[in-house]
A and B are shown apart, each in its own frame.
Chain A
């Protein structure tokens, strides 16, 4: 092989359509587009097998194939002569290819429609550069990687050090999460990012911090296996998608051919934040000793933003961020445990209430759905909704404004999980949703494990079944 397959990593991102040529045993050639050519090792690539089409039937009869795959950086087209070796229906290669297809389908709201039947592994018999026009009637292929546009490194040691410094300086979970996203923006250049964390409901994630999205999106939810974050949570592996627009077009084209409206996912109560036209996405599971602490998602409008060379750095980054978040959660919980007994008097020191504004908020708690609406608009649900309702009713009944995490933790009516209740992250989520949707009701930290409920407008409370 004249050119090392490893040097063609950029060709295997699916940014530009590749073509597959096969031939039946009775001598009829066939040409088809490929969604993606996947790099396996220095002598093998894999093609996705989704449908029993003519190419697949030809390969079953005659294992020889030719693929034309373009390099999105240089425009150089490479001619790969292949020979079918085997189909894989389980294992890391199959999972990686399956996740990519499912992530794109899920992004389009078409999850479950497209299935990877197998990852077809081919031996690469030869790699050859297709002739390029170099002017003056001269044609030649680019035979050296030196001629290609150099990869712009993203995960540099300097950027990682900068991130580490910011994380060390954070004093609270809120500060830590914001520091992570700011560092990803300022040191790595990732301007659109979000962190999701598991809720008390099994298989559910909630967005707790975002950066670079006008709609904010804190409080939006995602189920395991749904969307990029949900797939990352389910697989517990990083998922990197380049050329998302092509993938979406490919998925939508398939959808038109196999349309089933019942498969389209219904909209959520709070939409997940996202770019209108993302080209690259990266999802990183935040794992500590196998436990999912959260999912970090990055988006870019640049088609090929996350490089193959970055894979190991991405995993290191995920581990580092995960440990920092879990440490901070444990630290905050420990600090809250040592806080004194619940404040019991109204208008204690620390309670700051601005002069009341005119009018009032109608706050309604829907018991069956465990969700809170303010002035008829959805605010939050599940545990953060139960906490808010508890605080507001206590305030109405007793006039109290200051509360402690500890008393919430001991309150059986809130039904917190006994083990790892993540109360501090639930309070942070509640605080951010209030800032976003109802800034005249505030929950403000007033010390370790303490916070103040501030009502700048009267509230009228009501419950519904």
Chain B
């Protein structure tokens, strides 16, 4: 379960990447734009640009295994959320401002380490699909010997 302090970190506007795998264990992965913690930390919604959806949805719908990587560039703090697929829907207009605000915060964060906003200017960010997953495990992912250790 994702506790409130960790939920704040995951929703503050940082790097988000979603990983899946095929039936024959070939990994797949896409960049996401934003995330939101729901159901008191038991579920996570990951907003993935619609243009990338076909790269991971077949995996999610066939085996349901998912890993979501979160990373904050300015201090390399990283967390990985493991889960199982629940459902997918199109992002709606009411979510657009929140999704783009998280993306904007991520761009600010990259700017702080010298990566200009223009570098990611052509990255798709809307429309999105909202992929909901049930959280099954949390892991520390900050670089170092503790990377991979389970989080409470």
Q: A142: nearest residue on chain B (CB-CB)? A: B122
A267 to B7, CA, bound (A): 40
Within 8 Å by CB of A27, from B25, B114, B120, lies B25
A16 to B71, CA, bound (A): 12
B131 within 8 Å of A by Cβ?
Answer: no
Q: Could you say which of B25, B31, B82, B121 has the most chain A C-beta atoms within 10 Å of its C-beta?
A: B25
* Interface range for A: 35 or more
A330 within 8 Å of B by Cβ?
Answer: no
A32 to B124, CA, bound (A): 22
* Inter-chain contact A133/B113, CB cutoff 8 Å: no
* Inter-chain contact A22/B27, CB cutoff 8 Å: yes
Residues from chain A with Cβ under 8 Å of B142 in the complex: 253, 256-257
B147 within 8 Å of A by Cβ?
Answer: yes
Contact A29/B27 with A131-B52, A133-B122 known, Cβ cut-off 8 Å: yes
* Inter-chain contact B29/A21, CB cutoff 8 Å: yes
Q: Could you say which of A17, A29, A130, A132 has the most chain B C-beta atoms within 10 Å of its C-beta?
A: A29
> Which chain A residues have a beta carbon within 8 Å of chain B's beta carbons?
15-17, 19, 21-23, 25, 27-33, 35, 51, 53-54, 62, 64-66, 68, 70, 72, 74-75, 77, 81, 130-134, 139, 245-246, 249-250, 252-258, 279, 303
* Inter-chain contact A64/B25, CB cutoff 8 Å: yes
A-B contacts, 17 listed (Cβ < 8 Å) = A21-B67, A28-B67, A29-B20, A29-B66, A30-B19, A31-B19, A32-B80, A32-B147, A33-B71, A51-B144, A64-B25, A66-B26, A72-B115, A139-B124, A250-B143, A257-B145, A257-B146
Contact A33/B143 with A68-B31, A250-B76 known, Cβ cut-off 8 Å: yes
Q: Could you say which of A75, A134, A139, A250 has the most chain B C-beta atoms within 10 Å of its C-beta?
A: A75
B37-81 interface mask toward A, CB cutoff 8 Å, 1 = contact, 0 = none?
Answer: 000000000000001100000000001011111010111111010
A77 to nearest B CB, angstroms?
7
* Inter-chain contact B65/A29, CB cutoff 8 Å: yes
B6-48 interface mask toward A, CB cutoff 8 Å, 1 = contact, 0 = none?
Answer: 0000000001011111000111110100000000000000000
A32 to B68, CA, bound (A): 9
A55 to nearest B CB, angstroms?
8
- Interface secondary structure of A, over-half rule: mixed
Pairs A-B, 7 closest by C-beta atoms: A257-B144, A253-B76, A31-B69, A21-B29, A31-B19, A254-B144, A21-B27
* Inter-chain contact B21/A23, CB cutoff 8 Å: yes
Residues from chain B with Cβ under 8 Å of A245 in the complex: 113-114
Within 8 Å by CB of A75, from B114, B121, B147, lies B121
A234 to B124, CA, bound (A): 46
* Inter-chain contact B75/A253, CB cutoff 8 Å: yes
Within 8 Å by CB of A31, from B29, B73, B118, B121, lies B29
* Inter-chain contact A33/B19, CB cutoff 8 Å: no
B123 within 8 Å of A by Cβ?
Answer: yes
Contact A32/B65 with A23-B26, A131-B51, A253-B76 known, Cβ cut-off 8 Å: no
A81 to B22, CA, bound (A): 13
Within 8 Å by CB of B51, from A25, A35, A139, A256, lies A139
B119 within 8 Å of A by Cβ?
Answer: yes
* Inter-chain contact A258/B145, CB cutoff 8 Å: yes
Residues from chain A with Cβ under 8 Å of B113 in the complex: 245-246, 249
A250 to B78, CA, bound (A): 11
Q: A75: nearest residue on chain B (CB-CB)? A: B119
A392 to B21, CA, bound (A): 76
Within 8 Å by CB of A249, from B51, B69, B76, lies B76
A22 to B69, CA, bound (A): 12
Residues from chain B with Cβ under 8 Å of A22 in the complex: 27
Residues from chain B with Cβ under 8 Å of A25 in the complex: 25
Instruction: Beyond the given A28-B65, A75-B122, A257-B143, please list 19 additional residue pairs across the A-B interface where CB-CB is below 8 A.
Output: A17-B15, A21-B19, A22-B27, A23-B21, A23-B26, A23-B27, A29-B27, A30-B67, A32-B141, A33-B69, A51-B147, A53-B148, A66-B27, A70-B119, A72-B115, A133-B122, A249-B76, A252-B76, A257-B142
* Inter-chain contact A65/B124, CB cutoff 8 Å: no
Contact A51/B145 with A23-B21, A249-B73 known, Cβ cut-off 8 Å: yes
A70 to B122, CA, bound (A): 12
A223 to B132, CA, bound (A): 55
A16 to B114, CA, bound (A): 10
Q: B63: nearest residue on chain A (CB-CB)? A: A27
* Inter-chain contact B27/A68, CB cutoff 8 Å: no
* Inter-chain contact A62/B25, CB cutoff 8 Å: yes
A23 to B29, CA, bound (A): 11
A433 to nearest B CB, angstroms?
35
A143 to nearest B CB, angstroms?
14
B84 to nearest A CB, angstroms?
10
A430 to B60, CA, bound (A): 70
A256 to B145, CA, bound (A): 10
A19 to B29, CA, bound (A): 9
A258 to nearest B CB, angstroms?
5
Q: A249: nearest residue on chain B (CB-CB)? A: B76
A86 to B44, CA, bound (A): 37
* Inter-chain contact A31/B114, CB cutoff 8 Å: no
Q: A62: nearest residue on chain B (CB-CB)? A: B25
Residues from chain B with Cβ under 8 Å of A133 in the complex: 51, 122-125
* Inter-chain contact B76/A64, CB cutoff 8 Å: no
Residues from chain A with Cβ under 8 Å of B71 in the complex: 17, 33
Residues from chain A with Cβ under 8 Å of B143 in the complex: 33, 35, 250, 253-254, 257
Residues from chain B with Cβ under 8 Å of A64 in the complex: 25-27
* Inter-chain contact B65/A27, CB cutoff 8 Å: yes
Residues from chain A with Cβ under 8 Å of B119 in the complex: 16, 70, 72, 74-75
